[in-house]
Structure 1
Amino acid sequence: MHGKPGDGTKFVGADDHWSSNCEADFSCIIPDILSSPAIPGNIADIVELLKKISLTLSESVNRGKMQSYSKIANHILNSSVISNWAFVKDRNASSTLLDSVNLFAGKLLLRNGSEDIQEHFISTKGFSVHKNTSGKSFDFCMELNKTSNVSGRVVLPEGELQKLPKASTAVSVAFPTLGAILEASRPNPALVNGMVLSVSLPEELRHVLLTFEKVNKQEDVGAQCVGWHSTERRWDYTACRMKSNTGGRVVCVCRHHRRTFKSFSILMSPASLRSAVLDYITRVGLGLSIFSLILCLTIEIAVWHHVTKTEISYMRHFCLVNIAASLLVADVLFIVAAVVHNTALNYRLCVAATFFLHLFYLALFFWMLTLGLLILYGLLLVFFKITRSVFIITAFVIGYGCPIVISVLTVAITEPKSGYLRSGACWLNWYETKALLAFAAPALSIVAVNLAVVVVVVMKTPRASIGESCESRDLSNMIRISKNVALLTPVLGLTWGFGLATVVDSHSLAFHVTFALLNAFQVNSTSLGTVDAQTWTEDLLKN
């Protein structure tokens, strides 16, 4: 039985029992869960529990664990409680459940080359596959409600299996009621006329055939093949195409897309678009940037004593070196985070990679803020002198102190609720906890401050000398202003302002491409600006 949608009764203790010294298959929490009514509050708690189990379990999943996990999920997938999902406060709970089950099932350890774990409303099957396999299929026939059943089939074509370099594992999960549950919490629900089929395949496989039996088999009922976009919590109409629609069955050809890299625009955008162009820009941009930053720091070390003879030049180069160092570490960590996620390593490693990635990208911005303030100091506070020691202490407090505080608070507030990481990437969460704001808000605020610095620089740009013609004077002023803006834009991080566009419209490929182009390659311009900065600063501050 289940309670009324507004019933506030909640079960307690299951999470505590599991997180303490539970049995190896955590079956000890099942009686508490199955005896609790599947009311909205309990549904939300069970989804959080399943999410925590999936994220924190690093080892392989044996049959006992999969059975226990399936029993827990089955309790809230029951057809009799679909209406209760509409009253769950977290609108993304059903999508979170799907992600959690997929992550957990993907770790399934097969016995004798196959596995089959069956519950009424969730069924998991796994096979060992290799290139000599003639073809594999997962067949499901499950109870939709007390009066009807529904079937589905997942086929791995022989041509796809030929791509496998070694024996691998393929796992499929079927949900007869999840389609209705996913739509129950959406403002404009669509009719899901069949079961939801999920697959976890080797990355070499790119296409899979899915066969769905229609629940409503009337001839005038249309059909469309779609995939669920877990990051953006919506149906993806480009993931699949229809192959046939006959006799109450629909056959779909779907792309199995496992991203091997995350585009650079993920740093600002709530959503990560699937685009080969973005991946290419990110790879090339980061590769060139890391090379340029190493070259930049090498040049700075070689010429340090020659370019830091005055107090102002020392302070400026001190900022530039820390900007380059922070960005170099951050870019390397960006690659590490992608590797950690794609190799399905320990969840804690993903948290650690995200923490340090967040920390050093924030350090980049706060050091750019420090440089911007230094420029204002040199331009506006001509008669106020600051000692080198005071500057270094202040710069470290701003450049590293502020990022450490923000990063620590972010992980401390969101991680206890498993809301620190976003689904599908080692980066800050957006949809559940808005943790991404802990990066985007400081970064965009600093961009706004540094934009004001550039305006002041333009206004303070030295005028052409007396005696030049009007045309020569205008041209000379324009060249000086253009040079200052061109040098300051990458050094002060103004190109990151385009990240606001990816936040406002996270589905626009044009915004993502623009952001990735400007910022994945930003450090190349920064390195060149660093080399030329000595001449520029002396020219700017001599008046």
Structure 2
Amino acid sequence: MLSDACASLDVQSLFQVRMLLSTLACAYILSSPAIPGNIADIVELLKKISLLLSENVTRGKMQSYSRIANHILNSSIISNWAFVKDRNAGSILLDSVNLFAGKLLLRNGSESIQEPFIATKGYSIHRNTSGKSFDFSMEFSSTGNITGQVVIPEEELLRLPRASKAISVAFPTLGAVLESTQPDPAFVNGMVLSVLLPEELQNILLTFEKLNKLEQVGAQCVAWHSAERRWDPRACEVRAHNVTAVVCVCAHRRRAYSSFSILMAPAAPRSSLLDAITRVGLGLSILSLVLCLLIEAVVWHHATKTEITYMRHFCLVNIAASLLVADILFILAAIVHNTALNYQLCVAVTFFLHFFYLALFFWMFTLGLLILYGLLLIFFKITRSVFLPAALSIGYGCPLVISILTVAITEPKNGYLRSGACWLNWYETKAILAFVIPALSIIVMNLIVVVVVVVKTGRSSIGEGCKSQDLNSVIRVSKNVALLTPLLGLTWGFGLATIIDSRSLAFHIVFALLNAFQGFFILLFGTLLDRKVLILDYMSIFYTLRNWSL
């Protein structure tokens, strides 16, 4: 840990500052892992260096300072910031870098110091400079070159009484850190640009290239309010907006605003109705799954007398158990992230959440195979001793292999977790494909199973074409589809609609209704509407009440 190094800064001497910015100290810090505890220590270190150093900052000191800041701004470890105890650490880092960069001594009229995740540029400006601008071009992960531009209009330059300096610092990843501390669901979709200008200048033009090019999504130009530690839209306004970039006009006030960026509306719409559906649905789903497992335990010996009924109920119990654990872990994941408990705990919760959601789909796939066996392989008999090992290998073995490989490949690079949530990463490592691809593949295969069931059960008896027979066939087909849709996970297919039109609230509400209540549907269609289970369950309740009365 770096706490000892930070503590040594309590003695305010320039010698210690110089030592901390020396090659040896810088190398020691850069070799330390960017875990939450070290991030907090490095932020505190940079803060104290900025406060203690009263002399001009040379290029060498700025390079050392930037390397240290770059170490904790690496895109691969941004998710670790969610577990830093001080929720204002990102804001403190921004203020510290701005303070230190403001002391940069410009030689030959300009300075350019660039690291992969922080870049500093400084220029000498005067009233005769025409439309002076600062251009940034940075390599940021797999998204390619991200650009930002600062332009000082000519009419603003005329306000300068003397030659001055202008310094700008660009952060392509700091926005993700700052947005996690904000109550507003909007996200930062560009780099954060800090602009340090003479007090005489009032307005500047900023151009931000979007990190994610989202069409028809509203953009908002904002300034970081250092005192209140929040994004403030009052200091900026949108001048131009297209699919790839946003041009902002911002008021530069040295003490209040010096850092700017753009906010975008989240792809998934926020709605109190959607949140309520999710909460109520998850609660009802958990209760329904517990009740489902209790009923199955009561009627197990009576409802599983034949091989085929045993296999069916075995699959149903594992589907219910997997979904029950996954729902509980889903709630736990939200608690762990919102309270910033521990990074390792978030990794563990994500691993088991990934595993049990995959297990849910693979057990649904096993049930689909069992249905095909019952329909197509009438003369082929499968025994319980053969079915159980095969079902367990598919239901739990495949998810376990996929989950272990995912965490083993991505976690060493700090690319397992998504920034801002205890769930699989998307932007840096595409780890979430380890869930999406198997799930969608199983949905497609189970859809084929439903089609086969519809074809098999929808045929009218040969020589019988009366309307009553046709009506019975339609009812039978509709019932089978209604029964199989939640049991085979087809409701998750509606997730494709939310991807195709991610801003449609209607699609998100339908998806939430079908999947948040999935546990209830499994109880209803898988257990309560099963004739044997229904009769035996009522009989058990009757005998239990009779024994109590006696």
TM-score of the pair, normalised by structure 2: 0.63
Deviations 1:305-363 (A, max 9, x none): 23212111111011001100000000000111111111111111011000110111111
Q: Whose radius of gyration is greater, 1 or 2? A: 2
- Preserved CA contact (<8 Å) 1:281 1:520: yes
Instruction: For residue 533 of structure 1, report the CA deviation from its aligned partner.
Output: 5.4
- Structure 2 counterparts to residues 475-514 of structure 1, below 5 A: 475-502=471-498, 511-514=507-510
Cα distance in 2 for partners of 1:437, 1:247 equals 40
Within the candidate set 23, 37, 56, 1:31 is matched to: 23
Shift of residue 386 of structure 1? 1.2
Residues 119-138 of structure 1 show CA distances to partners (whole Å, capped at 9, x for unaligned) of: 6x4559xxxxxxxxxxxxxx
Tell me the alpha carbon deviations over residues 474-520 of structure 1, each in whole angstroms, 9 at most, x when there is no partner. Answer: 22211111111111111000111233445566566555444333212
Note the alpha carbon deviations across 1:411-462, whole angstroms, 9 max, x for none: 1111111111111111111111111111111111111110110011011105
Deviation at 1:203, TM superposition (A): 7.2
Distance 1:463 1:296 in 2: 33
Q: Verify the 8 A CA contact 1:95 1:230 in the aligned structure 2.
A: no
SS in 1 for 2:530: helix
User: Measured at CA, do residues 478 and 28 of structure 1 come closer, stay the same or move farther in structure 2, by a change above 3 Å?
Assistant: farther
User: How many corresponding residue pairs?
Assistant: 435
Aligned to 2:34: 53
- Distance of aligned partners of 1:527 and 1:400 in 2 relative to their CA distance in 1, 3 Å threshold: same
Q: 5+ residue gaps in structure 1?
A: 1-17, 37-44, 80-84, 86-92, 125-139, 150-173, 258-262, 264-270, 538-543
- 2:329 counterpart residue number: 333
Q: What residue is the counterpart of 1:191 in the other structure?
A: 149
306-315 or 275-284: bigger deviation: 275-284
Instruction: Report whether the alignment pairs 1:243 with 2:246.
Output: no
8 Å contact 2:220–2:233 — kept in the other structure?
no
Range moving further from structure 2, 497-506 or 473-482: 497-506
Distance 1:390-1:108 versus aligned 2 partners, 3 A rule:
same
Match of 1:106 in 2: 86
1:403 to 399, 415, 440: 399
Would the alpha carbon gap of residues 35 and 400 (structure 1) be closer, same or farther in structure 2, given more than 3 Å must change?
closer
Q: Aligned-pair distance for 1:404? A: 0.9
Distance 2:74 2:137 in 1: 6
Residue type of the partner of 1:31?
Answer: T
SS in 1 for 2:34: helix
| Alpha-carbon distance between aligned partners in 2 of 1:73 and 1:282, rounded to the nearest angstrom | 51
Q: CA deviation at 1:532?
A: 4.6
Q: 1:381 aligns with which of 367, 377, 383?
A: 377
Task: State the Cα distance separating 1:281 from its structure 2 match.
Answer: 2.8
The change in CA–CA distance for 1:296 and 1:254 in structure 2 (over 3 A counts) is: farther
Q: Which residue of 1 aligns with 2:368?
A: 372
Q: How far apart are 1:365 and its partner, in Å?
A: 0.5
Distance of aligned partners of 1:298 and 1:457 in 2 relative to their CA distance in 1, 3 Å threshold:
same
Residue aligned with 2:234, SS: strand
Do the aligned partners of residues 55 and 35 (structure 1) sit closer, same or farther apart at CA in structure 2, a change above 3 Å counting? Answer: closer
Counterpart in 1 of 2:350?
354
Report deviation, 1:58. 9.2
On the 8 A contact 1:447/1:493 being kept in 2, the answer is yes
- Aligned mates of 2:86, 2:221 — CA distance in 1: 20
Distance in 1 between residues matched to 2:493 and 2:397, nearest whole Å: 23
Q: What is the CA-CA distance between 1:23 and the residue it aligns to?
A: 7.7
Whether 2:407 is the aligned partner of 1:416: answer: no
Q: Deviations over 1:229-258 (max 9, x none)?
A: 8999xx983585642569953788999x9x
Which residue pairs with 1:527 in the alignment? 523
Deviations 1:285-314 (A, max 9, x none): 211111111121122122222321211111
In the alignment, the residues of structure 2 paired with residue 466 and residue 228 of structure 1 have an alpha-carbon distance, to the nearest angstrom, of 63
Contact 1:411–1:420, Cα closer than 8 Å, also in 2: yes
Evaluate the alpha carbon distance shift between residue 506 and residue 421 of structure 1 in structure 2; reply closer, same or farther with a 3 A threshold.
Answer: farther
Q: Distance in 2 between matches of 1:392 and 1:64?
A: 58
2:440 is equivalent to residue 444 of structure 1: yes
What amino acid does structure 1 have at the position aligned with 2:435? F
Match of 1:324 among 312, 320, 324: 320
Mark the CA change 1:375 to 1:504 in structure 2 (over 3 Å): closer, same or farther: same
Q: Over residues 85-133 of structure 1, what are the superposed CA-to-partner deviations in whole Å (9 max), with x where a residue is unaligned?
A: 9xxxxxxx87567776786583679xxxx989976x4559xxxxxxxxx
Q: How has the CA–CA distance of structure 1 residues 505 and 95 changed in structure 2, closer, same or farther, with 3 Å as cutoff? A: farther
Aligned-residue offset at 1:402:
0.9
Judged with a 3 Å threshold, the aligned counterparts in structure 2 of structure 1 residues 242 and 401 are, in CA distance, closer, same or farther, namely closer
Distance 1:351 1:488, change over 3 A: same
**How far is 1:393 from its partner?**
1.4
CA contact (8 A) 1:66 1:117 kept: no
Structure 1 residues 295, 220: closer, same or farther in 2, change over 3 A?
same
Structure 1 contact 229–236 (Cα < 8 Å) conserved: no
Change (3 A) 1:410 1:395: same
CA positional deviation for 1:366:
0.6
2:80, 2:62 → 1: CA distance? 13
CA distance in 1 between partners of 2:181 and 2:3 (Å): 33
Label 1:96 to 1:387 Cα distance change in 2 as closer, same or farther (>3 A): closer
Deviations 1:267-295 (A, max 9, x none): xxxx7665544433322221111111112
1:28-427 alignment, distance < 5 Å: 31=23, 52-55=33-36, 57=38, 63-64=44-45, 75=63, 106=86, 121-122=97-98, 185=140, 189-191=147-149, 237-238=219-220, 240=222, 242-244=233-235, 248-249=251-252, 274-427=270-423
Measure, in 1, the Cα distance between the counterparts of 2:435 and 2:297.
30
| TM-score between the two structures when normalised by the length of structure 1 | 0.64
Rounded Cα–Cα distance in structure 2 between residues aligned with 1:28 and 1:219: 36
CA distance in 1, matches of 2:395, 2:530: 22
Cα distance 1:142–1:273, how it changes in 2: closer, same or farther (>3 A)? Answer: farther
User: Aligned to 1:243, what secondary structure does the other structure show?
Assistant: helix
Q: What runs of 5+ residues in structure 2 fail to find an aligned partner? A: 7-18, 52-56, 112-117, 123-133, 152-167, 186-191, 223-231, 237-248, 534-550
Q: 1:279, 1:386 → 2: CA distance?
A: 45
**C-alpha RMSD over aligned residues:** 5.3
Contact 2:366/2:395, CA 8 A, preserved across alignment = yes
Partner of 2:246: none
How far apart, CA to CA, are the structure 2 residues paired with 1:69 and 1:389? 70
Once residues 303 and 467 of structure 1 are traced to their aligned partners in structure 2, the CA distance between those partners, rounded to angstroms, is: 41
- CA change 1:273–1:341 in 2 (3 A) is farther
Amino acid at match of 2:234: K
2: distance between equivalents of 1:422 and 1:69? 31
The answer to whether the 8 A contact 2:50-2:99 is kept is no
CA contact (8 A) 1:78 1:177 kept: no
Q: 1:164-199 deviations in whole A, cap 9, x for unaligned?
A: xxxxxxxxxx99769976866565745356767978
**Residue aligning to 1:431:** 427
- In 1, the alpha carbon distance for the partners of 2:202 and 2:40 equals 48
Q: For 1:453 and 1:143, how far apart are their aligned partners in 2?
A: 68
